[in-house]
Structure 1
């Protein structure tokens, strides 16, 4: 630090500190808050006058239709080394469950296995036994030709086709409905796949005692093309 700067620092505490008004520089405007709802309404009125609102509405409808026809795929892969594993379906309460009067019904940490009635709070003393789930869940990607061919073969070999619940992880449900002549469900946002810890498709999921049994399928031996099929309306 040079001598001049040091002298200024030394003198600063000795200088009188007098506040002075410097006046007004430029025009002063009051602070105003934007009414967001009014702003949105004004924008909508503008869009309506210019015809943009109709265009936005049509685009929204098209997006909804496209999403229903072809939902976003889950993104599971196939495998040449299929595995069979068990998944515990037990649920654990994350917090206390109280009635309308605040009385505790089920405490936090209570565990319930949907397949084991002994864990059902209302039936713990009933001694009913194991709950039997009659459906077989089949997860597959309808955009994969090999998986579709396998699904057709699986449907033909299954003795009770009505007990199969087809769950798509990709593809168009309507198209697969016609190809397999069965109702199709879609694993929206992969919620079921995550709950069952699925990593590969096709996977056949069924009850095994008080657990889920997941059997992965190798479809690599199926051809990668499929003959065009013609659907005749009834």
Structure 2
């Protein structure tokens, strides 16, 4: 039966050897295909916004946003602790790729590990010069929005200046905020203030809590967490030195 149907289909097609497509005309209105010039559209849009005053408002809003982010950067989000820890972090770096000279010759191979605190891991040239490296700063991470941490920072600064930590008195404190306003903290400590933007330093040093005092001990970083829970947590207390 299927063969019979196929034969009928073949015959029926053969009956119209001159069959061809026909122009059925146009149905409805036809429009040419056009593309909007994007630069022209943007220019027109900006002109409209300028005429309505929206552009000036947007520019002012952008300025205010930038000023606010500079005055108060996004906090890192580290918390305080009543069970402080002291731990070490290995600063060893591993080269992710070969380092070659201008002549294409290999200088340092991929996978080479270098500890900036350990001359034994340095390239041969540096070892031959018997170079040494001693990090001259103490890094102090704290949240400037926390009254207790600010009080602790003021006391730590006084102790450092008075030479109570005799073995550290020759080291410069580098204050690094994980929250708060750098300008306000600068006025409180009368010192240069840095901010851990996007928590980059905290992550590299694997900080868990603040305040944390970070310094070089031997060939590693030492992170010492501080318990500030015994400091007053109300603003009026800032006028009184903590004993």
Pick the TM interval, shorter chain. Answer: 0.7 to 0.9
Structure 2 residue aligned with 1:205 = 214
Matches within 5 A, 1:31-46: 31-46=33-48
8 Å CA contact 2:73, 2:181 repeated in 1: yes
Match of 2:194 among 170, 175, 185: 185
Matches within 5 A, 1:1-234: 14=9, 20=21, 23-121=25-123, 123-126=125-128, 128=130, 130-158=132-160, 159=163, 160=169, 163-227=172-236
Q: CA deviation at 1:71?
A: 0.7
1:35–1:152 Cα change, 3 Å: same
Q: Higher Cα Rg: structure 1 or 2?
A: 2
Secondary structure of residue in 2 paired with 1:224: coil
Q: Where do 5+ consecutive residues of structure 2 fail to align? A: 14-18, 164-168
Q: Where do 5+ consecutive residues of structure 1 fail to align? A: 1-6
Q: CA deviation at 1:175?
A: 0.8
Secondary structure of residue in 1 paired with 2:234: coil
8 Å CA contact 1:141, 1:168 repeated in 2: yes
User: CA RMSD, aligned part only?
Assistant: 2.8
Q: Deviations over 1:110-166 (max 9, x none)?
A: 222221233333634325254101100000000011111111111111124871000
Equivalent residue pairs, number: 221
Q: CA deviation at 1:24?
A: 3.9
Q: Deviations over 1:185-228 (max 9, x none)?
A: 00011000001001100000000111100011111111111327
8 Å CA contact 2:151, 2:238 repeated in 1: no
